[in-house]
Amino acid sequence: MRLHSLCASLALALATGCGSDLRPPDEPAQVVLAIAMVPADVACIRITATGTGRIIARELDVSPGGALTESFGGLPLGSVGFVGEAFAGACDSVSKSTVPSWISDREAVTLALGRLANVTLTMHRNGRAKVAFDFADEPACVPGARTACPDAGADVAPM
């Protein structure tokens, strides 16, 4: 399998106006999602933009093997973190607890009116693990007590 089929890239071009296409200053920033080729095991894409005081999440049903270009509006201005997730099932079957098959690292960008910014989210297959913790019960020592703990010095004692 070729590397490009293992690692999908979501390119987000943040269009905040350019040339004669300049939007009014009160209009929120927009983002354009472009996917060159949707992997075979992806049916839904979720993009989450986290700004000061607001979190915007959008889900899109996609066709495996197809391309996609989609615009999003209503994004916060200022420092915004973008995260991408991709799911095997259709978006109507995806909930907040659904584990994505692909995820991106968080990518921070500053959105401002009248500027063009670019964000690239590189998607990685989402591995899973069950992690167990084991705590060794050792005596706790208190500084200044009369009885010493082993290897702790004469001024430390067990609790």
pLDDT tens per residue across span 113-151: 877 677 888 899 998 889 999 988 877 777 666 665 665
**Residue indicated by tokens 């929120």:** 28
53: in domain: yes
29: in domain: yes
CB–CB of 107/123 below 8 Å? Answer: no
What's the confidence (pLDDT) of residue 94?
Answer: 94
The whole model's pTM is what?
0.66
- Per the structure, the complete domain to which residue 31 belongs is given by 3-125
**Residue indicated by tokens 């978006």:** 91
CA distance 48 to 82: 6
Taking 60 as the threshold, does the pLDDT of residue 23 lie above it? no
What's the confidence (pLDDT) of residue 29?
Answer: 61
CB–CB of 7/122 below 8 Å? Answer: yes
Q: Which two tokens stand for residue 116?
A: 């063009």
Taking 70 as the threshold, does the pLDDT of residue 95 lie above it? yes
What's the confidence (pLDDT) of residue 19?
Answer: 33
Higher per-residue confidence, 114 vs 59: 59
Taking 60 as the threshold, does the pLDDT of residue 16 lie above it? no
141: in domain: no
46: in domain: yes
Alpha helices in 1-90 (DSSP H): 3-6
What's the confidence (pLDDT) of residue 48?
Answer: 93
Taking 80 as the threshold, does the pLDDT of residue 44 lie above it? yes
Q: How many domains does the chain have?
A: 1
- CATH no. for residue 48? 2.60.40.10
CA distance 128 to 108: 25
Amino acid present at 33: L
CA distance 133 to 117: 43
